[in-house]
Chain A
Amino acid sequence: MNLHQLTAHELHGLLKNKEVSAVEVANDVYSRIDAVEDKVKSFVTLTEEIALQTALKVDEQIKNGEAISPLAGIPVVIKDNMCTRGVKTTCSSKMLENFVPPYDAFVVNRLAEAGAVMLGKANMDEFAMGSSTENSRFFATKNPWDISTVPGGSSGGSAASVAADQTIYSLGSDTGGSIRQPASFCGVVGLKPTYGLVSRFGLVAFASSLDQIGPFTKDVRDNALVMNAIAGHDSMDSTSAKVEIPDYTSYLTGDIKGMKVGIPKEYFAEGMDPQVREVIQDAIKRFEELGAICEEMSLPHTEYALPVYYIIAPAEASSNLARYDGVRYTYRAEGAEDLIDMYKKTRAEGFGSEVKRRIMLGTYALSSGYYDAYYLKALKVRTLIKQDFDRAFEKYDILLSPTAPTTAFKFGEKADDPLQMYLSDVCTLSVNLAGIPGLSIPCGFANGLPVGLQIMGKHFDEGTLFRAAYAFEQSTDFHKQKPRL
């Protein structure tokens, strides 16, 4: 049995019935990692010792007849921007190459309580800035479907590891599409939850008002299960919402008859791959066949999402990343003459070019004399974008769009053209700006590569997203297809 190919809910059944042990599962997945990691390169750090210890503990519980949680003994991979106590957390940056946090992120804590088996830390674009994982200071992660193409980003390692069956599920973070776009490129399920639903405590901040942690899974049910474990209020995060957390699996009914679905026409603009368009249109047809009422509609301020995002996110980043200065736990450049020189050399050497670009963009946007024209204006337009969605959700239960305008692109294809790279997130940025949830599910193939369908919903209405996604998934088998590695 290829345990590594299974989902969490499938493995849970096997573990509960003592058909397999958690140690067997962990060993099987590590064998898979050994077999394909050279090609995919998902991991910055592997934590085999911790994983086997946890697995043993879970096996002990099962042996003793104790009830185990749905994620107990199930392998997971954590993006390397979530703090793990005693385990390096690098953000794929030279700056934090040797940073070992003395504490766990909230989500890591929650998963540990659930008995999750942490296999390792996933590669990413440096400080989560990028859309291809080419900006990792260590190495690029490959798309398991075609290793000459990128896995997307910034959570490329998290997405690729799930697609390559190097883990059962993983956690990523999404500031402008960093979960959904790589989920789309790698053919897995990826959720960016509502802002405030999952605590950001211990997530190394990129843009605080946009960052959210979410799961990558092999199917929708697993995604709902992981959300059951990580969603909920955290007193350590002031922006964490106090909302009732439902059992998300209760939404997996398969029934979407009468669901009102909006198709925002702005998401089908120029620059979209015609084959991707076709796949998305087929998916919409499938929704209609399942009884949903689909209708073209408009989110008029969509075109401003990109410029607004590239003012707000870098502005916050320029401040969030100021603490990496060589004084405390970071990389420190050698041979500095004085304090200012130390700052300059440390940051020049410690950060890669995309991070520096965004720090400069953000610093500029916040500078006196430019603040009103850039940052303040961007905040106002952000409100307009939010209002577009508020209005849409008065009428529609969900909105459907492509997750990305193209399938995975080749290495180097956009690396030298930041604007082209930024455009690959054009379908996902608005969701972060509005703070609403967005889910990407596999919905077909174009050019032999996976295509993702983005489902957008109301604030804290993840349940409806899961309902819609599950109904679609049940009537298709895209999620069951595996890359040949």
Chain B
Amino acid sequence: MSETNKFDFEIVIGLEVHSELHTNTKIFCNCTTEFGGDPNTHVCDVCLGLPGVLPVLNKKVVDYAIKAGLALNCKIAEFSKFDRKNYYYPDLSKNYQTSQFDLPIAEDGYVDITVDGVNKRIGVTRLHMEEDAGKLVHSGATISSSSSSFVDYNRVGVPLIEIVSEPDMRSVDEAIAYFEKLKSYLEYTEVSDCKMEQGSIRCDCNISLRPWGQKEFGTRTELKNMNSFKALRRAMEYEIERQAEILRDGGRIIQETRTWDESKGVTLSLRGKEEAHDYRYFPEPDLVPIIISQDWIEGIRQSMPELPDARKQRLVDTYGLPEYDAAVITSSKALAEYFDECLKYFSDAKVISNWVMGELLKHLNASERSIAECPISPEKLSDLLKLLDKGTISGKIAKTVFEEMYETGKDAETIVKEKGLVQISDESAIAEIVDRVVTANPQSVDDYKAGKERAIGFLVGQVMKETKGKANPGVVNKLLVERLNQ
């Protein structure tokens, strides 16, 4: 990336992504994993950690972890186990988190990303299963400045996977691309609903800088508390600049955990290396090791849906879409499905792709809606494209109709009829207007004849204006040229 080349240090980034698994019940009990709910209503003796209770592993969690591991090209461990990660905090009902330490369920995978047309492979070090913690609601801003805090254990025991990348990313764009790709994998495999705003996918970021050409990594900091893609980008950009300034002044980076302060737009020190927790990991004695047979893995492999890369390639190979278009459309599973659905009603893939990537995404982004909330169904969009294809309406009118469809949810044909937007292709009708426009604009006619070809654009515009945009632009152009060359 050109910007990086200008920068005086090489950027090194690794990401740790936590994603809630979309199972119906929690990892070690039968409580629902549903988001929301009144505080402490999605709890039982087991997830509350009452004395004497024992965890029982939800098999679905293992299925999902295997699925995610396969999607990320990981090796699935035949023998894996849970460990206890010990630390005191009131959002943990047992004051330890059941997690995986030295024998994670999946290791050694990768994710391919494309940034500015350049392909790159990012290593995935490991993927492991663990339980989520609860939520604290403080009476003040932080736990230390509050006179009281409330604890909501609804989220305790919701299954998580943690995916740790290699420190392979060399720019903010690469890190964002990796995270986006990872998110799309988890969505495609339906192991997580990846709602960042609900915290069902979270991302911590390790960043360090080093002089160009140096082999050893610089001292890194770990960033936490980024709750959106925008926050992730801003936090990384801020931290890179913060570290660079220190290094330029001949200073040294302190290894520490820093938290992103969204309102101030800065990263703040949370705890240093010395204050880092000693988690005293040891094997969880209440659970037996997880033995995963090849049959189990194969069964899940068979049930895997088409993944983004394969789907993208299919769009390129089958429909001749440009790589870029195919990548955008397959970046989200829902969008790719929308596209495929359109193809059932309308056969020109490139036209569909233009409209999906253009008008559709533009409107969705502007109204902050997801594709699932799109008011225009694939069938309705296809109907619009058919009207355009038949020449019933012009491209310009089609955009107006699209807007109306997006606002009202009506279908294209109704709008075209109601508003009388049918395209005028009748040459005699258009010729009349062309005559009138040419007579009224002698200056433009002279300009055209003097070789200023651009002048024809103005005249076309005038004809379109007269017809309220309904004239077939091809016919207008043809008749104008004939008329001017007489």
Show the binding face of A for B, using Cβ within 8 Å: 81-83, 89, 91, 96, 99, 101-103, 105, 200-205, 207-209, 235-239, 315-316, 318-319, 322-325, 327-329, 338-339, 343, 363, 366-368, 371, 375
Contact = CB atoms under 8 A, between A and B. Distances in A.
B456 interface: no
Contacts of B93: 323, 328
Nearest to B151: A327
Q: Shortest 6 CB-CB distances between A and B: which pairs? A: A322-B95, A208-B285, A366-B280, A209-B285, A204-B51, A202-B52
A267 to B, nearest CB: 27
Nearest to B143: A339
A473 B222 CA distance: 67
B86 A101 contact: no
Nearest to B288: A238
B48 interface: yes
Contacts of B144: 338-339
Contact of B51 (A99, A318, A338, A367): A99
Contacts of A339: 90, 143-144, 149
A235 B278 CA distance: 33
Given A363-B280, A367-B278, A101 B285 contact: no
B350 interface: no
B286 A208 contact: yes
B115 interface: no
Nearest to A211: B285
A323 B94 contact: yes
Given A324-B51, A329-B51, 12 more contacts: A81-B52, A83-B51, A101-B50, A236-B54, A237-B54, A238-B56, A315-B282, A322-B88, A325-B95, A329-B50, A338-B144, A343-B88
B81 to A, nearest CB: 12
A319 B96 contact: yes
B8 interface: no
B45 interface: yes
A338 B140 CA distance: 13
A108 to B, nearest CB: 10
28 contacts: A89-B51, A101-B51, A101-B52, A102-B45, A103-B50, A105-B52, A200-B54, A201-B52, A201-B54, A205-B51, A238-B288, A239-B54, A239-B285, A239-B286, A315-B282, A316-B285, A319-B96, A319-B280, A323-B49, A323-B95, A324-B51, A325-B88, A328-B48, A329-B50, A339-B149, A343-B88, A366-B281, A371-B280
B278 A322 contact: no
B195 to A, nearest CB: 29
Nearest to B287: A238
A111 to B, nearest CB: 16
Given A322-B86, A327-B90, A103 B45 contact: yes
A167 B53 CA distance: 28
Contacts of B57: 238
B265 interface: no
A210 B348 CA distance: 68
Contacts of A204: 51-52
A318 B288 CA distance: 20
B312 interface: no
Contacts of B56: 235-238
B134 to A, nearest CB: 11
A441 B84 CA distance: 38
A322 B49 CA distance: 11
Q: In terms of DSSP, what is the predominant structure of the interface of chain B?
A: loop
B55 interface: yes
Contacts of A209: 285
Given A322-B96, A323-B95, A328-B93, A201 B286 contact: no
B87 to A, nearest CB: 9
A132 to B, nearest CB: 23
A420 B228 CA distance: 60
Contact of A238 (B54, B86, B96): B54
Interface in B277-331: 278, 280-282, 285-288
A126 to B, nearest CB: 13
Nearest to A209: B285
A315 B280 CA distance: 9
A318 B285 CA distance: 13
A9 B278 CA distance: 54
Interface in B83-115: 84, 86, 88, 90, 93-96
A198 to B, nearest CB: 13
A203 B280 contact: no
A127 B56 CA distance: 23
A401 to B, nearest CB: 26
B95 A102 contact: no
A329 B88 CA distance: 16
B344 to A, nearest CB: 47
Given A319-B84, A367-B280, A239 B288 contact: yes
Contacts of A236: 54, 56
A343 B51 CA distance: 18
A205 B45 contact: no
Given A316-B285, A327-B90, A83 B84 contact: no
A356 to B, nearest CB: 16
B90 to A, nearest CB: 5
A280 to B, nearest CB: 33
Nearest to A235: B56
A322 B51 CA distance: 11
A102 B96 CA distance: 22
A484 B57 CA distance: 51
Interface string B47-68: 0111111111100000000000
Given A238-B288, A239-B286, A239-B288, A323 B51 contact: yes
A240 to B, nearest CB: 9
Contact of B50 (A102, A237, A327, A375): A102
Nearest to A199: B54
Nearest to A127: B51
A47 B51 CA distance: 21
A362 to B, nearest CB: 9
A247 to B, nearest CB: 28
A200 B278 CA distance: 29
A315 B283 CA distance: 11
A325 B87 CA distance: 12
A239 to B, nearest CB: 6
Contacts of B53: 201-202
Contact of A375 (B54, B55, B282, B286): B282
Contacts of B282: 315-316, 319, 366, 371, 375
A430 B93 CA distance: 33
A327 B151 CA distance: 9
Interface in B22-58: 45, 48-57
B308 to A, nearest CB: 36
Identify the interface centre among A101, A103, A203, A238: most chain B CB within 10 Å of its CB. Answer: A238
Given A322-B95, A363-B280, A366-B282, A82 B88 contact: no
Contacts of A200: 52, 54
Given A322-B94, A327-B90, A368 B280 contact: yes
Given A367-B278, A368-B280, A319 B54 contact: no
A329 B144 CA distance: 23
